[in-house]
Amino acid sequence: MDTHPANAGPRPFLWHRTFMNILYYGTIVLCVFFFLLPLLWMLLNALKTPLQIVELPPKLFFMPTLANFENVFSSQNFLQYIYNSLIIAGGSTLLGLVLGLPAAFSIALHKQKKLAVFILVSRMVPGITFLLPLFIMFRNFRMVDTYTSLILSHLLVGLPFIVWVMVPFFESIPRDLMDAARVDGCNVFSTFIRIIIPISMPGVVTGGILSFIFSWNNFMFSIVLASNRTKTVPVAIFNFISYAQIDWGGLMAAAVTITVPVLVITILTQKYVIRGLTAGAVKG
């Protein structure tokens, strides 16, 4: 009797492969669900009235309202806080790139490992360690509640990150390319500007975007060094929290307003971020 033993082998393999695919995609769906659930809950509460927010059990289907967003932009002057955050995050990112790119190139070119470790250690030190010295220094120079003080303080977060993103990227560039540029008459600065930076643009975009996001979300330096004139959006959230009550609707609407720009930037630039973070992994 022919039992076809040759055809019995692939079936366990197919079952195993199907099970692994289900497990893989199921894990992805589960992770995405837990990641999106707080964002979805925040958005739903931003569209509810105060009574609907505290209602138990919470309703998933209701008549949405934009009153919370109207309160955020009309009563709380949130556009000014967004403008402040854009100025500070954009300024710290540009200054971080101007200072960080040459530093990273020098570390990669001259193998300055000790300097790289020092920059890494400065990034690992808690930011609150620098907060009091910075406040005293800026107060003595009458720079508290200015864009300059906030931009310089945010460099403590963005600059080391830019350097550490770009060092492996610059190290992956062949030395022959720089030697050929020097033979053609380019000095180090000209080689860096005309050849190295264009080749390394994915890494530059990655470092700039992530530095901007870190600065946009920074709370600790802003709450101490900023006031009404330069208050940023993370600090402005406290406008909805008082001693007597918490405006949950306004709080959620403000949180949505803060989150949306970061999400849009991340979605539009995700392929550049992934390319920039992985391009320096392969040398030669």
Query: Across the chain, which distance is largest between two alpha carbons, in Å?
Result: 97
40 has a pLDDT exceeding 60: yes
Q: Treating both helix axes as pointing N-terminal to C-terminal, what angle do 201-217 and 248-279 enclose, rounded to 10 degrees?
A: 160
5: its two tokens: 């033993």
DSSP 8-state symbol, 58:
P
Kindly state the tokens that stand for 19: 């099970």
Q: How many other β-carbons are positioned within 10 Å of the β-carbon of residue 19?
A: 10
Task: Indicate the burial class of 21 (C-beta count within 10 angstroms; 0-12, 13-18, 19 or more).
Answer: exposed
Tokens, residue 278: 């992985």
Contact in structure between 227 and 145 (CB atoms under 8 Å): yes
Residue 96 pLDDT: 93
248 DSSP 8-state letter: H
Q: Minimal CA–CA distance to 256: which of 31, 38, 76?
A: 38
Q: Which tokens is 12 given? A: 């366990």
Tokens encoding 151: 């931009």
- Which of the given ranges, 18-27, 111-120, 139-148, 263-272, has the highest pLDDT on average? 139-148
CATH code at 67-279: 1.10.3720.10
pLDDT digits (tens, 9 = 90+) for 193-245: 888 888 888 888 888 988 998 899 888 888 889 888 899 998 888 888 877 77
Q: Distance (Å, rounded) from C-alpha 129 to C-alpha 239?
A: 27
- Higher confidence at residue 168 or residue 139? 139
What residue spans define the domains of the chain?
Answer: 5-46, 67-279
